[in-house]
With several copies, the nearest count.
Chain A
Amino acid sequence: MAEIRIQTEPFAQGAELERFTEAVTGAGAVVSFTGIVRDEGGTLAAMEIEHYPGMTERAIGRIAAEAEERWHLSGCLVIHRHGPMRPGEAIMMVATAAPHRADAFAAAEFLMDYLKSRAPFWKREITAEGEAAWVAAKEEDEDALSRWQP
Chain B
Amino acid sequence: MIEVLYFAWVRERIGIPREKVETEAETVAELVGELAAREARYAAAFADLSALRVAVDQELADFDAPLKGAREVAFFPPMTGG
Contact = CB atoms under 8 A, between A and B. Distances in A.
A58 B80 CA distance: 17
Contact of B82 (A50, A58, A92, A124): A92
Interface residues of A, number: 29
Contacts, number: 73
Nearest to A92: B82
Contacts of A112: 82
* Most chain A Cβ neighbours within 10 Å, of B7, B9, B59, B80: B80
Contact of A120 (B7, B9, B11): B7
Contacts of A128: none
A121 B81 contact: yes
Interface of B: 5, 7-9, 11, 55, 58-60, 74, 76-82
